[in-house]
Structure 1
Amino acid sequence: MNKLKPLVLAGFLALFSMSCKKIIEKKVQDMVMDAITHGEWIVEQYFEDSNNLSSQFLDYRFKFNEDGTLIGTTSSGSTDGTWAPNLSDYTITSDFPTAADPLKKLNGLWKIKDSGWDYVKAEMSTPDGTRLLTLRKK
């Protein structure tokens, strides 16, 4: 029986360690989602290769909702879309299915290259080249 105690204790500690790690990962995910879904975002910069198309987004504000919906709003109306984060591989997929330019330029899988609580820098590779996007929280 005394020989089993170290094994039971080691097993308990390993299980406890895995539980703590999952709890911490979940808390980080919750904090990231909270940062994304509270407040509005603007497109600070948008490039297609070396072409700066940022001015096409000047009038837009974006709201990311916890339920996966996304709304792009201008003074002339709003367009509904969807978004899906993948926190483990640092990507976000966005889709405005009925949108015209410039919103349809945001459709696709974006790889997060840098981020903070109030900005996200992302990149998308397409057959036509590379798109670079910087979002800033308003």
Structure 2
Amino acid sequence: MVGCLALLSTSCKKAIEKKVQDLVMDAITHGEWIVEQYFEGTNNLSSQFLDYRFKFNEDGTLTGTANSSSTDGTWKPNVTDYTITADFPTAVDPLKKLNGLWKIKDSDWDYVKAEMQTTDGTRLLILRKK
């Protein structure tokens, strides 16, 4: 009986984790996002991203668009570790500033606050859904 309960508990936990992951993916992949704030240490570089809109796709692709110019990249969420890895391999500034592993510090359905540790210090990114 205990073995059955343990198996059921593990199965339920995996089902719940899958449902949470599906909800997170749905929230991220529906709609466009903007960079509301971007800091490198105490330097506020948010204005560099004013014209950008970002679209996260379920297949792991990501597009950053400013005016009529788009740059393609990839993204990979890790729901367990509360991280997102972003990569715009051909990007120049400011998009290449988003490349790397971001630790999610706070989030809701319409915003994400994340930090990245680099050799130069901490980067802070706040995305807002449009």
| TM-score class normalised by the smaller sequence | over 0.9
SS of residue matched to 2:11 = helix
Distance in 1, Cα, partners of 2:77 & 2:59: 11
Report what 1:106 is aligned to. 98
Which of residues 25, 32, 39 is equivalent to 1:33? Answer: 25
SS of residue matched to 2:90 = coil
Report what 1:50 is aligned to. 42
CA shift, 1:76, in A, is 3.0
Distance in 2, Cα, partners of 1:127 & 1:20: 41
**Paired residue total:** 130
CA shift digits 1:74-95 (9 cap, x unpaired): 1131000000111111111101
CA RMSD for the aligned pairs?
0.8
Structure 2, unaligned runs of 5 or more: none
CA shift digits 1:22-43 (9 cap, x unpaired): 1111101100011011110000
Distance in 2, Cα, partners of 1:94 & 1:19: 31
Report whether the alignment pairs 1:123 with 2:121: no
CA shift digits 1:2-40 (9 cap, x unpaired): xxxxxxx22222211211111111101100011011110
Report whether the alignment pairs 1:20 with 2:7: no
**Identity percentage over the alignment?**
83
Q: TM-score, normalised by structure 2?
A: 0.97
Q: TM-score, normalised by structure 1?
A: 0.91
Distance in 1, Cα, partners of 2:9 & 2:120: 47
Report what 1:95 is aligned to. 87
Structure 1, unaligned runs of 5 or more: 1-8
Distance in 2, Cα, partners of 1:102 & 1:76: 16
